[in-house]
Structure 1
Amino acid sequence: MPVKVYERILDLFEAEGINTIFGIPDPNFVHMFHLAEERGWTVVAPHHEASGGFMAEAVSRMTGKPAVCIGTLGPGMANLAPAMMCALVENSPVVFLGGQRARITEQRVRRGRIQFVQQSPLFEASVKYSASLEYADQTDEVVREGIRRAMSGTPGPVYIEYPSHVIQEELDVPAALPPSAYRLVGQQAGPDLVAKAAEAIRAAKQPILLVGHGVHTSRTGEAVRALADLMACPVIQTSGGTSYIEGLEDRTFPYGFSPSAIDAVVQSDLCLALGTELGEPVHYGRGRHWVAGEAERTWILVEQDSEAIGVNRPIDIPLVGDLRAVVPQLVEALKDTPRTASPELEGWIRQDAARLAELAETAPSGMSPVHPARLIVEATKVFPPDGIMVRDGGATTIFGWTYSQAKPHDVMWNQNFGHLGTGLPYAVGAGVADGGRRPMMLITGDSSFQFHIAELETAARLNLPLVCVVAVDYAWGLEVGVYKRTFGQGSLETGTHWSKNTRLDKVAEGFGCYGEYVERDEDIAPAIKRAYASGRTAVIHVAVDPKANSEEMPSYDEFRTWYAEGTQ
């Protein structure tokens, strides 16, 4: 039987295993939303399209599949622009669908048209592929090409527009093809290079695994664990690869923030890099901590985009392919010749454990308002072991890198683009992808939290087990620090402060959430426990010391080295 274009679009997404859509209903696509819900899809309407885009990105990160967000013509698509840019920089394969008026409207020589602007030219620089369904029989080829581009090479977003005159047209088409029938899936590396990489790993005295964002968004943790066990080596996290792989928690060290990580990098004679662009936060793999031993170090890079090989640094053994296929190839090649761990590994493990214990002990306590370092310690000590951690904020995230006592298996944050305000939408998207089964904790600053605070209602409506721990200094804390370092103590801190009457716990209660106000160290953990026990989305408003928040950010000098400014 003939199907409408909007039905066929759903068919094509379902063939990819997609069953979630985000967007605010609009006359152009209420039919699609209605049918999706009838088919059992999860249909989530946020309060802002940008939030919906961030939610979709979080679903993609949690599933390893493309995700879908939709925007109404004109203002809805304008609101999606920041989410598109984030998805591009975060390498997230999100399909953005955009409504548009009929082409006859666009082609008329007229002024004063309602809700109309030519959208595609505005978004082309923010997506990997931009196209429109000009004719109904283009539906399959355009949607498939969008997904193909989103998932090929370096993943990223695409934009597909459908004018209103096309969406209700009918098609007579066969069943939708599975992904493997129209795009490359599970690309393996050449066996000769896999054998060469295995030989180099066997010969290495001090190998390391450098694990980036892509390991977690491709959901390849189990295979990487098997590889790490065979290599018997430390795992070094990039700033994006901060999720801990189950079973590797004790020998996983954050690059630049853990002395064990620095020692392991300096002493390494082989680096196998997985799911990382080798960007500024790791000094392109050739500056700062990498300088020592550079001449003796062998580099193996697993990279899906062949054009990325050798851009940021020379690579000795490039393995071009999908992590989901290449890591098992390496496991197979090494399974009969597992390495024995070097004596230093156990020392690095003890050193890192002692570092975390010392930080928990020495984080300033007994202050009211609370010291932000103590907030991180107390909150992360009661983080549920099976939970999903979401980060947001400037100073709050910097404190979190250093003082966190938790080792979550899923960490979500906007690490490449640095877009504040993504935390709450990411948490909603992650919860949707997880089906609301696992507890979630968002640790954020008040500035970031207020970007999309209306999504508390979305989280509450979906009954998500989310506790938002908000560090409140009533200011843009990181920027206050910039003013102080630039102009000195007592200088004007223009545009950085707001009313101290703001009570985010009360705002939460207004959205039907659980809320508590805390201003003492010893009250943080009990408040979080009560929040989870409430069974509702919750906000814990923690008053933090503004002076400490702006002046005492740990490892800030290390963070500043990320901005290479062409020097590396």
Structure 2
Amino acid sequence: MASKVYQRVLELLEAEGIRHLFGIPDPSFFHMFVTAEERGWQVIAPHHEEAGAFMAEAMWRMTGTPGVIVGNQGPGVANLVPAAINAAKENAPVIFIGGQRAQIAARRVRRGRIQYTPQYRYFEEAMKWVAVIEYPEQTDEIIREAFRQALTGRPGPVYIEIPMNTMQAEQDFPPALPPADYRVLHQPADAGAIAQAAALLRAAQNPILLVGQGAFTARAHDAIAALADNLQCPVIHTYPVSSFPPGAEERTFPCGFSPAGAQAVSGSDLVVAIGTEIGEPVQHGVGGHWEKGDAARKWIYIECDPLAFGVNRHIDVPILADLRDAVPQLTAALADTPRQRSAEVERLIELHRQFRADCEAEAPRGSQPVHPARLMLEATRALPEDAVFVRDGGATSIYTWTYAQVTPRDSIWNQNFGHLGTGLPYAIGAQLAVGNERRVVLVSGDSAFLFHTSELETAVRKNLPVICIVSADYAWGVEVRGYRGMLGEGTPETEAHWGKQLRLDKVAEGYGAHGEFVEREEDIGPAVQRALASGRPAVIQIPVDGTANARDVPGHEEYSTWYNDFWY
């Protein structure tokens, strides 16, 4: 049946379960946007393509289905480049689609071509795969290869460029194939490797699960929870306040930001690593808290990239598989030998509970401005249990590691790259993913929040009731610690370059959102409750002690050990 290429692209995306399209309208994509809406899609036009790409990435994090972002020729595509680099570092299979002038422009020798550059070259280094659809006959094979590349092995972004003459071309296309007809959907583990891993686990005295964000972006929460339930062992987060396996919340600890986590690691005799690179945040599994007992400790590693094994550390049982297949396989192999929770695990649970209680008791009260630790305690204890927890910023994110009173099923933070400004777009993408079933709450520093405040209008326009709790020190937060460490007192630009008159709550109200400005700690919880009750996008601005935000960052020494070549 004859159809336009833009129609066919939508059909192929629909076959992959995609019904959201992010991008700013432009002649390259007018027809695609209108047709998508006619087909029942949600089309979301952000105010900046970079923010739209972050929204698409959050959709993937919350659904396991790749997000799609389009950028118009020239400046629109250029705005996607930072988000593409971020997606690559975050192993996010975002589908970037770039518009381009008619292909004849690429073949001209002439100078001075308006809005023309060889765009695809800018993406080649970051992307898993880059392609240009030069002819309509290539549409199916290139779109399918894009998904094959993005989702095979370790996920990652791809870039597809569609010149305008191709986009409007007409072609006879057969019915769109389902994904199972052209790419591998499952990668189970070798039975021998599963048997070997199960034998090691049965013999272990103090096993632990080391769980990275890949386990949750794969939407494997329940599979991880089932394995954790069988083993009744500690679950160690590669990053603090990551997503929690349901039912294992009380025995899930951060590696080095809790005495329980540090002791669970150093006392373990077997590690099952899932959804993690075993990278710097866990000292490659050999240094820091891992050093004690390393010679005798066994490692099982579930990983879909064969090149990852044996690089950062020795692995005793490499399991080359998709964790969504391998974790249930391992759980099934252990079904006849469930473990009982040991006295040591109970001790660690109590140790972590006491650590959290001590942190809460020691958080300064009554200071003006509010101490950031107290802000975190008061703000997060008021959140719904099923809230999606989004973080942004440096010092503010680190304060959540110690003081946040949440154990979220879903926590979003671009932990691998540390790209500021992702928080609000992530929150919008996550709210689109969960609809009206759950609330999405962002905790952000003001510097990070200011990157994309215009997207508050997107949230209002799309009726997305995201709650934004903004810790405002009117400076660059944790960076001030670095400035002072190297240079002494900083310049006005590095210390406090916005002054104390910036009212983000008023900015929010100007966009049509709910806004609150809170200066006393006892008013924080009620403000969060009012924001939740408003049913609208909301910004709660809370001025905090800037000196404490820079100087008292909890666990900064532990955080600094992540860098083998840190320079201050």
Normalising by structure 1, report the TM-score: 0.98
- AA aligned to 2:491 is L
After TM superposition, give the deviation of residue 566 of structure 1 in Å. Answer: 9.5
Residue-by-residue CA offset, 1:164-192 (whole Å, 9 max, x unaligned): 11011122222111111111111101001
Partner of residue 306, structure 1: 306
Q: Which residues in structure 2 correspond to 1:114-513 (within 5 Å)? A: 114-239=114-239, 242-488=242-488, 490-492=489-491, 494-497=493-496, 498-513=498-513
User: In structure 2, what is the Cα distance between the partners aligned to 1:332 and 1:170?
Assistant: 51
After TM superposition, give the deviation of residue 461 of structure 1 in Å. Answer: 1.4
After TM superposition, give the deviation of residue 240 of structure 1 in Å. Answer: 7.4
User: In structure 2, what is the Cα distance between the partners aligned to 1:194 and 1:137?
Assistant: 44
- AA aligned to 2:382 is V
Contact 2:480 2:494 in 1 (8 A): no
Question: 1:86–1:259: structure 2 CA closer, same or farther, 3 Å change rule?
Answer: same
Partner of residue 50, structure 1: 50
Residue-by-residue CA offset, 1:3-55 (whole Å, 9 max, x unaligned): 21111111111111111110001111111111111111111100000000000
Moved more, 447-456 or 346-355: 346-355
User: In structure 2, what is the Cα distance between the partners aligned to 1:565 and 1:402?
Assistant: 25
User: In structure 1, what is the Cα distance between the partners aligned to 2:240 and 2:261?
Assistant: 15
Contact 1:205 1:342 in 2 (8 A): no
Contact 2:369 2:543 in 1 (8 A): yes
Contact 2:518 2:540 in 1 (8 A): yes
Task: Give 4+ residue runs of structure 1 displaced > 6 Å after superposition.
Answer: none
User: In structure 2, what is the Cα distance between the partners aligned to 1:491 and 1:118?
Assistant: 42
* SS of match in other structure, 2:300: strand
Partner of residue 89, structure 2: 89
After TM superposition, give the deviation of residue 241 of structure 1 in Å. Answer: 7.3
Q: Residue 106 in 1 paired to residue 106 in 2?
A: yes
Contact 1:438 1:465 in 2 (8 A): no
User: In structure 1, what is the Cα distance between the partners aligned to 2:305 and 2:358?
Assistant: 42
Contact 2:240 2:257 in 1 (8 A): no
User: In structure 2, what is the Cα distance between the partners aligned to 1:224 and 1:200?
Assistant: 18
Contact 2:22 2:46 in 1 (8 A): yes
- AA aligned to 1:538 is A
Q: Percent of pairs identical after alignment? A: 55
User: In structure 2, what is the Cα distance between the partners aligned to 1:465 and 1:319?
Assistant: 42
Contact 1:483 1:493 in 2 (8 A): no
Residue-by-residue CA offset, 1:281-316 (whole Å, 9 max, x unaligned): 111111111111111111001001111111111111
Partner of residue 561, structure 2: 561
- AA aligned to 1:507 is V
- AA aligned to 1:373 is A
Contact 2:59 2:430 in 1 (8 A): yes
After TM superposition, give the deviation of residue 491 of structure 1 in Å. Answer: 4.5
User: In structure 1, what is the Cα distance between the partners aligned to 2:216 and 2:54?
Assistant: 17
User: In structure 1, what is the Cα distance between the partners aligned to 2:460 and 2:351?
Assistant: 42
Gaps of 5+ in 2: none
* SS of match in other structure, 2:271: strand
After TM superposition, give the deviation of residue 499 of structure 1 in Å. Answer: 2.2
Contact 1:212 1:241 in 2 (8 A): no
User: In structure 2, what is the Cα distance between the partners aligned to 1:150 and 1:398?
Assistant: 31
User: In structure 1, what is the Cα distance between the partners aligned to 2:288 and 2:130?
Assistant: 39
Contact 1:216 1:241 in 2 (8 A): no
Contact 1:240 1:415 in 2 (8 A): no
Contact 1:240 1:416 in 2 (8 A): no
User: In structure 2, what is the Cα distance between the partners aligned to 1:240 and 1:253?
Assistant: 8
Q: Which residues in structure 2 correspond to 1:24-63 (within 5 Å)? A: 24-63=24-63
After TM superposition, give the deviation of residue 153 of structure 1 in Å. Answer: 1.3
Residue-by-residue CA offset, 1:514-556 (whole Å, 9 max, x unaligned): 1111111101101111111111110011010111111111110
Partner of residue 14, structure 1: 14
Q: Which residues in structure 2 correspond to 1:67-86 (within 5 Å)? A: 67-86=67-86
User: In structure 2, what is the Cα distance between the partners aligned to 1:464 and 1:566?
Assistant: 40
- AA aligned to 1:128 is K
Question: 1:491–1:21: structure 2 CA closer, same or farther, 3 Å change rule?
Answer: closer
Residue-by-residue CA offset, 1:433-462 (whole Å, 9 max, x unaligned): 112431121110000000000001111112
Normalising by structure 2, report the TM-score: 0.98
Moved more, 558-567 or 190-199: 558-567
User: In structure 1, what is the Cα distance between the partners aligned to 2:76 and 2:446?
Assistant: 26
